[in-house]
Amino acid sequence: MNLLLAGILAIRLGAFADTLPAYDSYPAYAGADLGLHYSRSASVFRIWAPTAGRARLLLYADDSSKVAGKVVELDRGVDGTWWTEVPGDWNGWRYVFSVWIGGEWSKEVPDPYARAAGVNGKRAAVIDLRQTDPAGWQQDRSPAFSTANRPTDAVIYELHLRDIDVEGGSGVRHKGKFAGLGEWDTRNGDGLATGLSHLKELGVTHLHILPMFDFNSIDESRPDSPQYNWGYDPLNYNVPEGSYSSDPVDAAARIRELKAMVESIHRHGLRVIMDVVYNHTGLTGTSNFNELVPGYYYRHNPDNSFSNATGCGNETASERPMFRKFMLESVLYWMKEYHLDGFRFDLMGVHDIMTMNLISDSLHRLRPDIILYGEGWTAGHTPLPDSVLAVKKNVSRLRGIAVFGDDLRDGIKGSVFDAHDKGFVAGNLGDVESVKFGVVGACYHPQIDYSKVNYSHGAFASAPSQVITYCECHDNNTLWDKLQLSRPDASAAERQKMQRLAWTIIMTSQGIPFLFEGTEFLHSKRGIDNSFQSGDSINEIHWGLEKERMGDVDFLKTLIRLRRQHPAFRMTNAAQIAANIHFEPAPGGCIIYSINGAAVKDSWTQIWIAFNGTGVTQKLTVPSGLHAFQVGAVNDWSQPVDGSVDLPGYSAAIYYR
């Protein structure tokens, strides 16, 4: 034990040890009662700190109290736990823990399982969760997003809580708050729908919301000061972010207002996906995890320094029993307590396959219609071998989890690592196979030349439900900015056509379609790609553009409606795709393919689609007897086509029987 404590102390002091502590020898606790369990008669606290010699609980009357109102020495429990029961009603009090390791008391911190916190999350809060339920919460139900609730039936729209309504013209009263996204029938100065009402009109099914848990970068004590962050620096994983509430000091307000937001979104027919960041913590040596059990929750290099596959200073060790347990219990808590409908896992490739499958199996057992997906890559080297990681090439070994399809993303608009690299929609003829690969949902198809696909030289998905089909997200340049940077020679009208072509590819391809906030307004971040702290002026959605961009809004709205009405674009397995999608001969820079809609019981028995990535009109021969689908028109019918048609540059055509 002396050697173990010496190693732990070395980590705390930032020194290097010759060997890593034997973390695998730490006892794992199987109980479901870590953290606080409140009742009016008593509160029970339990933490896991197997290397501590002593542990204590400190209760404070509020956030600002300098002296604890009560200090309780914890009793040693089983399997490395420490616990106590404190009689009385402590609702509203703040609490923290400190442990004795290596001859000193640790910093006072909330335990990792804290479910409520005061301002800036420095102290956890004792709370009666049932008192945080808004009116009607027990009757809240997630709306159906299709008749079968299959992942490929979803249309996901990613947003940041401030971006969506903080602009002055949004018509939203509670701008940048949980309550703001829950507001209904908000209008801009032109009387057009904004916020949630606009998203409902657009036709999407799921709102993917950037981190809503308590993160470290915003000072909640200064709510009126200009502050901005995406929130990928977790502090208290199971606590909502206080800057999104009406009163960060009131520990119950953020919980109640987040629940009310979810209830409103559900009531108006949409679902909620939460962006979660278990791959790293915002703090490292002084994180809640590391103060209570130094070193255990993180991976390390051979010299005992923190490994950093996330690029954020540390990476968590999902393969260790107690962090695996924490991840599972955390997502279960969010799903049950907040009625969430899905999770997006940031840098999911850092996590091991076994942990992700355990999470998926557990969530799907309770909610078969839940949607799970993540980034199938890391941001750097990790000590674990690729063979055990939840990276893109291993997605076929994941159960009920999708990964982002970066092949199609960069095939459409060009590499995200080179702002000036052109993609297919901007005239790069070399990206044809990458786009075709996206059309078939990253599944095997006999007509794909995988040697010409930009990143994946083989099918990585065994079903289209395993891939997120997208071309832009909060990371990197928006699609509109990317087109401006890669094609400065093109006119604004040409780039508008390129953007519409990109949408058409996304909405008619197999997989789970994903859109980024404001794309329907040709959203720009002024060429700033990593805008995680660039402020509202760069990131906010400009609702004054809605009238000017109404043609684009209607165009995207029609594509979403098209997809949701036709199962031919939402196939469920690779065999269907290989058998019923056929790529036709096409001029250079074009893609033409047909879909046997009858095989999947689509009302369109035959579908013929063409993409023109060149800047010139192409003459195409369309099978006789097909009708042209008028994207953006009120009606989706026309007279039958017979013979050749002209397809303008940077555009698409959809025909059907």
Tell me which residues are annotated as active site. Answer: 346, 375
Torsion over CA: 237, 239, 245, 251 (sign): negative
CB atoms near residue 585 (< 10 Å) = 7
- Name the one residue in this structure whose structure tokens are 């002055």: 168
Who's near 67: CB < 8 A, 6+ residues apart? none
CA distance 587 to 40: 74
Q: Secondary structure of the chain: what % helix, strand, coil (to 5)?
A: 30, 20, 45
Chain-centre distance for alpha carbon 433: 27
CA distance 617 to 632: 20
- Name the one residue in this structure whose structure tokens are 């008593």: 42
DSSP-assigned states of every residue in 590-607: EEEEEEEGGGGT-SSSEE
CB 241 within 8 A of CB 179: no
CA distance 271 to 170: 22
CA-nearest of 501, 335, 502, 474 to 408 is 502
Residue 470, Ramachandran bin (φ over 0: left; ψ between -120 and 50: alpha; else beta): beta
What does DSSP assign to residue 652?
E
CA distance 244 to 252: 13
CA distance 499 to 140: 37
CA distance 620 to 603: 25
Amino acid 458 reads G
